[in-house]
Chain A
Amino acid sequence: MSTEQERDPEDRQIRCLVAKVGLDGHDRGAHVIARAFRDAGFEVIYSGLHRSPDEVVQAAVQEDVDVLGISILSGAHNTLVPKIMDGLREYGALEDTLVLVGGIVPDDDKDTLREQGVAEIFGPGASMSEMIEYVRTNAPER
């Protein structure tokens, strides 16, 4: 019907969850990312500090985000990320959520994370515009 108001897929609103997980109190990076994503026109939900994997999953599922950005600077990514991925799978949210990890991740671990379904890992020095472009290009089609 012509009166159906449909949005142009080009200007689809991208929703992101920026999550801090585990016992890691460093959120400057997450704040900077949240702000940059906002300025890029994304809707950003910020989880707050010290979230458990379950909470991150709950937020990602309920908010139906396109992109989940997990910030981990504690080195516990090998423990926490799989738990989040399992949770997303449980709710059927794994296939169409773009999962990114930001933080200090040794090269050896990067492949493991990718195998678990993490799309990309951004370390220190990653450029903001590069990340935004990555999200725009790779945000799942729905």
Chain B
Amino acid sequence: MPPLLSVSNLTVGFDHSSHFVPAVIDVSFSIARGETLCLVGESGSGKTLTALSILRLLPPSARIASGALTFKGRDLRPLGEREMQQIRGAEIALVFQEATAALSPVFTIGSQIEEVLRVHGRATRRTARQKAIELLEVVSVPEPARRVREYPHQLSGGLRQRALIAISLACGPSLLVADEPTAALDVTIQAQILDLLRDLQRRLGLALLLITHDLGVVAEMADRVAVMYAGRIVEESPAAALFHEPRHPYTRALMSSIPGGPPGSRLRAIEGTVPPLGQFPPGCGFAPRCRDRFEPCSSAPPATDLGGGRTVRCFLYPGSKDPAPQILQTSPHRRAESEQSAPQVLQISPDRRAGSSDPAGR
């Protein structure tokens, strides 16, 4: 079966006077029906722009330079604004990070849900209210008949995020794009929203493109993960394999830098800083901070298929189709070193998890 959404060789950037500044470079991925793909990266990695490109909601200063976006076999790029409006909300819905900013403060929650229903012709004025209440019920808002008449400021952060998800679900989309949907929430509320998203996905067969910088959220939610750095996807993998054995030096370094190990011990920090937009290094974006860098890294590494649904863009992994013996020769010690320093399975010690989750552990 063809994927629900496929993004191929997408390049997005900003026009600055005479030159084009790329922010997303040659990004390809696809999402199957009912699947969760996490796009993980730090600020400036291009993950949000990638998502906005799919919905064609880029800021006016940005543009898609090249690439193809195919949804349900249909090419999205030539579609006009009117046709995109038919797709947004109805087929592909977006959940924003800041529910407070995404909701209008001057309309009730109910009227904001009803607006979506009526715009897409899913309800009449008479039936819309009842549907809005049902949608709030779907996202587990308590007392939906009362909440539907309330304004966003009367709701807690968690309930506002639920209301926003209710709006996104109003027209029964098959793909939900969620941009850091829990970043503004406390960890206990985050857990509830993640549970809700997972539950909705099961019940409604939704595909989820989840954009996050939080590896914990990725571990909980993802079927597959695409790791972005400096505008490129550097590694793509099924979630379990990625956490078990990250391959790209960036993913490995990031995972080993997470606090863990003996309390008080020095963390394995990554040197340097994230390159700002317009200053992405030529070649591999991570090379200047990478402990394993060697001569070839000054040119962009191709995607190497590692099998098992894993691809990585790094010269440490000579392509299976195109073995590059000269690379192997120049870096044997580096490979050995990097494998030694590769993190083992990341986990919280079992006693801690038991302690924190055992209700009888008084």
Q: Do A and B bind each other?
A: no
Q: Which A residues are within 8 Å of any B CB, using their own CB?
A: none
